[in-house]
Amino acid sequence: MNKNVFRNFSYGVYVVSTLDNNRPTGCIANSIMQITSSPATVAVSMNHDNYTNSCIEASGKFAISILSEDSDPGLIGNFGFQSGKDINKFDTVSYETIGDLPVITDACGYITCKVIDKMETSTHTVFLGEVVEGDILKNEPAMTYAYYHKVVKGKSPKNAPTYIAEEETKTESAAKWVCGICGYVYDGDTPFEELPDTYTCPICKQPKSVFKQQ
Ligand code: FE
């Protein structure tokens, strides 16, 4: 099987958020689809290992913030490459509360949902959510998963349904600086020999020292 064929599916980049008791938490998801329009219903696929999964299970509700092409890539590092079990991810981002669910301000729209059903796979839970609220926050194009890979140059966390191991996607290319945390590939105008000492990853905010030449 050629796993790269899955890259031909279209996805977005979303922050799926919920409450851990009263504490807002969430993670990045890309496998979200609308199931029907009346009553408006969506499905979200989420890895069992994501802390957000158990919090949605417990709270019975979640919100989806739809990231736009101009959303801060740091949101993806904050929500996609660390666990809400360890830190308060919402402490460092701007958000508003819809109903009682946290929604990212720097997104092009949001919906809030109550869980009406779920399906388990060996690795992921598919939550079926009936939409409670939804609105557009700014008129910017939504970030597609392809845009994230090609323009933002990010990778998938290992828990993502769309994750493909590095060795399966490697292609011949010149030496590059690659973030060891989130996989961001630096390809700025500066020559590749050395990154500036003050350089930090635009996605996960880690310092130059985590970058490796590939
Ligand atoms: Fe990074």
pLDDT tens across 140-150, in order?
Answer: 999 998 888 88
Mean pLDDT, the chain, integer: 90
Give the distance (Å) from ligand 1 centre to CA of residue 57: 29
Give the distance (Å) from ligand 1 centre to CA of residue 179: 5
Give the distance (Å) from ligand 1 centre to CA of residue 37: 37
Give the distance (Å) from ligand 1 centre to CA of residue 210: 8
Whole-number pLDDT of residue 192: 63
pLDDT band at 172, cuts 50/70/90? very low
Whole-number pLDDT of residue 61: 98
Give the distance (Å) from ligand 1 centre to CA of residue 178: 8
Q: Tell me the C-alpha distance between 40 and 27, whole Å.
A: 22
Q: Rounded to whole angstroms, what are the CA distances from 100 to 22, 105, 209?
A: 9, 15, 39
Give the distance (Å) from ligand 1 centre to CA of residue 76: 10
What is the rounded end-to-end Cα distance, in angstroms, of the chain?
A: 26
Give the distance (Å) from ligand 1 centre to CA of residue 157: 11
Give the distance (Å) from ligand 1 centre to CA of residue 207: 8
SS3 207: strand
Give the distance (Å) from ligand 1 centre to CA of residue 134: 31
Give the distance (Å) from ligand 1 centre to CA of residue 185: 8
Average of pLDDT values for 197-208? 87
Listing DSSP states for 84-95 in one string gives: TTTS-GGGGS-E
Give the distance (Å) from ligand 1 centre to CA of residue 5: 26
Whole-number pLDDT of residue 175: 65
Please give the backbone phi and psi of residue 167, each rounded to the nearest 5 degrees, phi first: -65, -20
Lowest mean pLDDT segment, chosen from 88-97, 105-114, 169-178:
169-178
Whole-number pLDDT of residue 174: 57
Helix spans in the chain (H):
51-59, 74-80, 145-147, 166-169
Give the distance (Å) from ligand 1 centre to CA of residue 60: 32
Give the distance (Å) from ligand 1 centre to CA of residue 77: 7
Residue 151 confidence (pLDDT) above 90: no
Whole-number pLDDT of residue 167: 47
Q: Tell me the C-alpha distance between 208 and 201, whole Å.
A: 7
pLDDT tens across 44-100, in order?
Answer: 999 999 999 999 999 999 999 999 999 998 999 899 988 999 899 999 999 999 999
